[in-house]
Amino acid sequence: MTRFAMMVGAAAAMVLAVGAWAPASAQSVFNLGGLGLQTDPMDARARALGGVGVGLTGWQMLMTDPAAAAGLRLPGISGTFQPSVSQVEGSPEAGGTRFPLVGVSYPFGRHVFSAQFGSFLDQEWAVTADRTVELADGPVPAVDRYQSQGGIGQARLGWATRIGEQVSVGAGVGSLVGSVERRFTRELTTGPVEEGLENFRQVGEWRVSGATLAAGVNWFPSDLLHVGAAVEWMGDMTLDPVRGTAGEGRSYSMPLTLRAGGTFTLAPDVRLALGISRADWSDVDADLGGGAARDLVWGYGGGVEWARGTIRGRAFPLRAGYRVQQLPFHVQGESSEERAFSGGFGINLADAQDVPLARLDLTVERGSRDAGLLTEDYWRTTLSLRLSGG
């Protein structure tokens, strides 16, 4: 990226380090670390059951599990909406809304084809800092604002199919997409300012590109056990300057991510889901100059689903879960981690025989992110809607 981008990032890091900052309206102060806050492309049900997103029962479109769509029998469209509110102790609340997963699917014979868009790295953040600027007429108070808008997502075309009665496989090919705008402004407050002196503002924008590949397999040897595994490879992520932004593009090596999980039937209508994920960010850390990211990032999660609940004769499963997710980028030079409890439900709004035509899932999470002495608490709601039809 350009010197301006590095200047803004370094200035924001300095503001964090010295503590003379205040977060403005944004998703999370942890978005400041490295290339942003990692946000996995999952729906509400996967969030409720531990947030690993592989090896869950049933058929669904999940970018974290390419084989999970193999049994969809009707064309469908699904979308996920995710508002959240976070707060660092002693600072005002900050909030925002994401759309972490949107997709369409179409079965053709034994095969199911899909097109999906999902989240990856969130770079929405804003901080302010009070300054004193020395001018010819003396010191003048000023306010510096550092702001980043945009983020990095994934667009993917997928394919899935069943092999016999016990195995499904899937694969996908896609690209990293999105753009990032960085803005720095300095506003001088009322005081002995020289005539003609104006506030300072500089803006830079970069567009994202990079190839992605994914593959997965699900195995269900009995009604009591469903297991799955998935791998996601990303090539170099390139940020190219646009709209007159000076400088050359910059590329970063992206991680290889492995996920595995399973669902176990403990009793009639009671299921336990467990999962684990692993990603190697060591090459990214080297691209950032070292000391900015972990080498290996692990995630663990689990949840329980009780499927016997009903409302007016319609299935109303209840869910609860917990997860621990290491975050790849350091904040204030410290390793960061996210923990969250989750709870939610699902309901079939319309059915045709045993096939849901309209399904709603809702999950609420209470979590925290930690990096050294910095702690950020948050509430996050995830709402998913899937519509199917002939």
Domains parsed from the chain with CATH numbers: 3-122+152-176+204-238+248-388 (2.40.160.60)
pLDDT at 340 over 50: yes
Bigger pLDDT: 3 or 215? 215
Summarize the confidence of residues 322-326 as an average pLDDT. 97
Summarize the confidence of residues 365-371 as an average pLDDT. 95
pLDDT of residue 34: 82
pLDDT at 9 over 60: no
Q: Say if CB 308 and CB 330 are below 8 A apart.
A: no
Report helix, strand and coil shares of the chain as percent, to nearest 5: 10, 65, 30
- For residues 388 and 107, give the distance between their C-alpha atoms in angstroms, rounded to a whole number: 11
Task: Mean pLDDT check: name the lowest of 169-178, 215-224, 352-361, 379-388.
Answer: 352-361
Buried b (16+ CB within 10 A) or exposed e, 6-22: eebbeebbebbeeeebe
Summarize the confidence of residues 255-265 as an average pLDDT. 96
pLDDT tens digits along 50-67 = 998 999 999 999 999 999
Q: Say if CB 333 and CB 285 are below 8 A apart.
A: no
Confidence category of residue 362, pLDDT binned at 50, 70, 90? very high
208-to-96, 148, 237, 245, 383 alpha-carbon distances in Å: 22, 15, 7, 14, 27
pLDDT of residue 220: 94
Task: Mean pLDDT check: name the lowest of 1-15, 78-92, 103-117, 196-210.
Answer: 1-15
pLDDT at 117 over 90: yes
Sign of the alpha-carbon dihedral angle for 33, 36, 40, 45: positive
pLDDT of residue 236: 93
pLDDT of residue 2: 44
Q: Say if CB 352 and CB 388 are below 8 A apart.
A: no
- For residues 239 and 236, give the distance between their C-alpha atoms in angstroms, rounded to a whole number: 10
Query: 286: helix, coil or strand?
Result: helix
Confidence category of residue 17, pLDDT binned at 50, 70, 90? very low
In this structure, what token pair is assigned to residue 141?
């108070």
Exposed / middle / buried, residue 360 (Cβ in 10 Å: 0-12, 13-18, 19+):
middle
pLDDT at 105 over 70: yes
pLDDT > 70: what percent of the chain? Answer: 89
pLDDT of residue 3: 42
Residue 321 dihedral angles phi and psi, to the nearest 5°? -155, 180
Report the range out of 6-20, 92-106, 132-146 with the highest average pLDDT: 92-106
Bigger pLDDT: 350 or 380? 380
What global pTM score does this model have? Answer: 0.85
Tokens 């409720």 sit on residue: 48
pLDDT at 8 over 90: no
pLDDT of residue 132: 76
138-163/94-108 β-pairing: unpaired
pLDDT of residue 126: 77
pLDDT of residue 230: 98
Summarize the confidence of residues 24-35 as an average pLDDT. 70
Task: Mean pLDDT check: name the lowest of 134-138, 182-186, 284-288.
Answer: 134-138
pLDDT tens digits along 159-213 = 999 999 999 999 999 999 999 888 888 887 765 445 555 677 788 898 999 999 9
| Cβ neighbours around 198 below 10 Å, total | 9
Confidence category of residue 13, pLDDT binned at 50, 70, 90? very low
